[in-house]
Structure 1
Amino acid sequence: MKRTLENIENQFETFQILNEEGKIVNEDAMPDLSDEDLKEIMRRMVYTRILDQRSIALNRQGRLGFYAPTAGQEASQLGSQFALEKADFILPGYRDVPQLIWHGLPLYQAFLFSRGHFKGNQMPEGVNAVSPQIIIGAQITQAAGVGLGFKKRGENAVSITYTGDGGASQGDFYEGINFAGAFGAQSIFVVQNNRFAISVPVEKQSAAQTIAQKAVAAGIEGIQVDGMDVLAVYAATKEARQRAVDGEGPTLIETLTYRYGPHTMAGDDPTRYRTEDMDNEWEQKDPIVRFRKFLEEKGLWSEEEENELIEKTKEEIKAAVKEADNTPKQKVTDLMDIMYEELPSNLKEQREEYSEKESK
């Protein structure tokens, strides 16, 4: 039994294309991306890092509500999203707002989501996604259902969902991947292993050496990827998508990554459970620095270009904040109106009362 387990665990070696110095170490796995594609991936990662910095500042100013920092996870988030098609359906966790933005959610609506405004949860026409799930792991079973729907309709599309290593300890995680495997759902399950579920280290959540190996019990494909390597994440997701639409079933992708900031801005202090040495180790693996080195070596990126992008990003964020500020304030009557097609009699009376108060 012990040897069997060891044999299984040894199958899940970390998939990598770019090392920490931005050098290609797996030429055969290099994805077919144009120079413009490579530059676009870099633009999105830099944009998202600046957005994260600005969102943290806005949160501290009281201008945003709930916010989960994303710095360090750009390769995992954006590499996977870049491998998707417009028809694909994203079911995100609360740290996965960047994927929604690059899938088509306007930035000002992302800010409204953070503020708890109902318009921040309304996906525009053509944006195949649901708003970020706050309940840990609840989106995983939903993704299995969406993926099964695509299969039954014969559609060239997949569902993709994200959670952290803590989410892989939830019952919904096991139910979701088991259901998807049993019915061959066109789904991709991404577990972003950033080492800590708030403050609980991954080693205390499971005796398994990898999260990827949990795919074996569900009878589905599983792969562990260097989550700081955007090309490796892209390649793994692209292959998983192709397998799904080809009728070969779902895939579990574990991305080894790290969040540089706190779990959320709601009082978490990572210095209480993470060491300075650990932070320094993972800073050397920064996905943006790694990819920048790769692009500079190819003559595709420059400091000047990045600085111009940073300034443009700041202006776009400023405009989006202004648009969010100018959105009419949420009212109690709004919540009643969007919750029911026809109000129950008891709420009709309450709505009249609130309508009178709001008109003053």
Structure 2
Amino acid sequence: MNPQQDPARTSHDKTLLTVRDLKVHFPVKRDAGPWAVWRHKALLRAVDGVSFEVRRGETVGLVGESGCGKSTLARAIVGLAPVTSGSIRWLGMETVYGASRPAPEMARLRQRVQMIFQDPLASLDPRMTIERIVAEPLVTHRSDMSRDEVRTRVRTMLERVGLNAHHLARYPHEFSGGQCQRIGIARALIAEPQLVICDEPVSALDVSIQAQIVNLLRDLQRELSLSMLFVAHDLAVVKAISARVLVMYLGRVMEFGERRDIYDAPQHPYTRALLSAVPIPDPSLERARARVLLHGDLPSPLEPPSGCVFRTRCPEAIEACAAVVPTLEVRGNPMSCVACIRAGAG
């Protein structure tokens, strides 16, 4: 990929987080048997060479099928999954999480990057009150604050996410799923991070509650000038909140670009297939539109296909797709990058 075409290269004054050629591989033992001791461990390529950046104040959507590596990528960025190779730069500094950095510096970095998890109830400690849950990041990172200052900050943040002071002494099991997610959002934002990783924060919620949470996150993002990496498999949700969209398949990036370009003029066959699966509210338009159907299941990351990993399900695959690993490059549309040797050919 040429430097001027690399989606991970922008000026440091605009770029908050840069991920470059990131790989997260896990050794996996094969099935047990009498000869298992002689067998080599297989390598599960959960994330296999991903590059992108998140700019100040923007939301980047990360989409793809279940098992494509979205959540593993998100967890690697916040230090919850081991990085095999590649780099994570925070404000131009190499390696956000690493043993070589002093402990105080690592603590400051962790304060600036927070995470909202998929299961709102499971992410909250059932033994702690809501006040203690939301206050925990301040207790960890802001030891200079008094107890009264912490309580005031907690009340203010709860009100910002649609709750109130009457909830302080209650426990997570006393709240609905949507309320628990609001508590998780308050906990993530109370330490005033610059980047929030949202790992499918609405997938476990009802549709009406999903809209409320997405609107809340969008309002908070504007109000607090947050940067967000929003992970989801629902393209309609991602469209509502993201400025740019990154499409993943089997641990690799298929397409990355501005939201309008991804949704209105997708270049990769996989992106077109994902968009084809999104229902249209108008019944007549829904019946009339052409579908892009993918055959077969997602290949195993233990044994990914040669060449383009999507070729075994791609309706446009040619013989060369099995021999060439496509790189993420500008093809046709100057505002987006695509990893497909046929993109822009026609």
Same fold (TM over 0.5): no
Q: TM-score, normalised by structure 1?
A: 0.27
Higher helix share: 1
Q: TM-score, normalised by structure 2?
A: 0.28
Higher strand share: 2
